[in-house]
Structure 1
């Protein structure tokens, strides 16, 4: 698909969702400017590359967790530029589920979508799947209970687990508390990669897809001037007919570190981009430099 075809599919799905969920209490577009820029791009009034701002919206629904109880569930979606050729960024929130239950639900949802929706718009199937399967995840008791995790729903035979690498752009990363959280969360979730503080800020995390999605769901809700996933790589793990690759064999980084590249400027908040390019090139990731900065590194 071309950039225009991706944009047309995204805009069409947003319009369908707006019609299906007309109430603001059900459907909320959190960045109207991004949708307006997308509409201008599709209409041809904007030229050049697709708009850098990506549409983000929230769908709120009721989910049955028992024959006598419904709970509120919120699904958050953000379109990467290549959607629907790749899955959207997703997060599922429900105060009646523990964090472990939510992580398991989101992991199984991603596996379901990889098996049945690759290359097709998938927001409505995702909403319906959560409403139909949510009860399985609440069956073990209230948040914080010590009961075992619920058995996962049956997965499509073609669905396989995945490895992800997220490249996150921030307008800047200065705050020491945020920098500490990035280091702690990546290690807690078993992710490798690096964080480059300063202006701009860059974070790369890689590992099991569910862990990467959990990391992103924590980071993005902090207060930022601007933060986004600029690029992502999703790779299948050992499906039928595929090489038996493991998450560790796909890693480009051996651990997670905060990387500094000759800080300079009046506040010491700018990094040497030449050193950054060399750092990425050594790990086979130099293509990301152009994606972030729009120029070839050297």
Structure 2
């Protein structure tokens, strides 16, 4: 292992150690079996094994859901931690069936802004939960508004949508099912999103477009029955930064997919998707 690789591995060890400590703290706060649900039950063991015997390949991201009850609302706090969290920001998405799509989108937009503004390279999941506890009523209170207020709310959300764009990189254990593949493409095209779906094992999806449209697509696709599907990386833009002209399904070997990503200028993203260390 080169010196540079060793230094990067040390960074991963430090970050993953903090992740396990924070996860244990959250488990002590929410001790019931269904309070915190891991996407992959083996992920904690994989991280601990890496910490016991560090290698140049990092384990899969820690991905889990915290089921919260705040102000009569049932919230699903879906969390995906990059390997270098807390140095990097966490990926958090809130789902709540008691909020409409506009309310839910606005909630996630404001939570994302809170994290971006306050994240200082330290663990922050409890801070995010505290923010939800303090602010959720702002979004829930509008559920009983008048028709005029609803129009105003939708206009405000449209303004958010018009000035915010994202590119989401989704990793799935596999994408084989014909119905799921058709739905991924159909929904993306309905919302005029661009990107691709790499079918096979693992499955990779890149989706780009308006913030609201991308997260509407993600909400629908994630609700399908998956062994594992997570957002590995999200990129935010103030203006469109589309790398693709449409949305299509592709079928490539991992070698060809690596070349495909390199040609598009996404070599670093390829490494992040698969937890590879770039020791340049």
TM-score range (shorter-chain normalised) is: 0.7 to 0.9
Deviation at 1:25? 4.7
Q: How many residues align?
A: 259
Cα distance in 2 between the residues matched to 1:6 and 1:195: 30
**Aligned residue number for residue 178 of structure 1:** 180
**Aligned residue number for residue 41 of structure 2:** 32
Q: Which protein has greater RCO, CA pairs closer than 8 Å, 6+ apart? A: 2
Q: Secondary structure, in 3 states, of the residue corresponding to 1:251?
A: coil
**Aligned residue number for residue 50 of structure 2:** 41
**Aligned residue number for residue 264 of structure 1:** none
Deviation at 1:199? 3.9
Cα distance in 1 between the residues matched to 2:33 and 2:277: 41
**Aligned residue number for residue 280 of structure 1:** 261
Query: Contact 1:91–1:213 at 8 Å: present in 2 too?
Result: no
Question: 1:142-183, CA deviations, whole angstroms, 9 ceiling, x for partnerless residues?
Answer: 59x88232898xxxxxxxx86543332334323222122212
Query: Contact 2:57–2:277 at 8 Å: present in 1 too?
Result: no
The partner residue of 1:254 within 231, 245, 255 is 245
**Over aligned residues, Cα RMSD in angstroms?**
3.3
The partner residue of 1:13 within 22, 26, 49 is 22
Report the structure, 1 or 2, having the larger helix content: 2
Distance 1:162 1:45, change over 3 A: farther
Deviation at 1:103? 1.6
**Aligned residue number for residue 50 of structure 1:** 58
Distance 1:92 1:224, change over 3 A: same
TM-score normalised by length of structure 2: 0.76
User: 1:126-137 to 2 correspondence within 5 Å?
Assistant: 126-137=128-139
Cα distance in 2 between the residues matched to 1:140 and 1:292: 38
The partner residue of 1:3 within 1, 4, 12 is 12
Query: Contact 2:63–2:230 at 8 Å: present in 1 too?
Result: no
Distance 1:134 1:258, change over 3 A: same
Cα distance in 2 between the residues matched to 1:12 and 1:163: 34
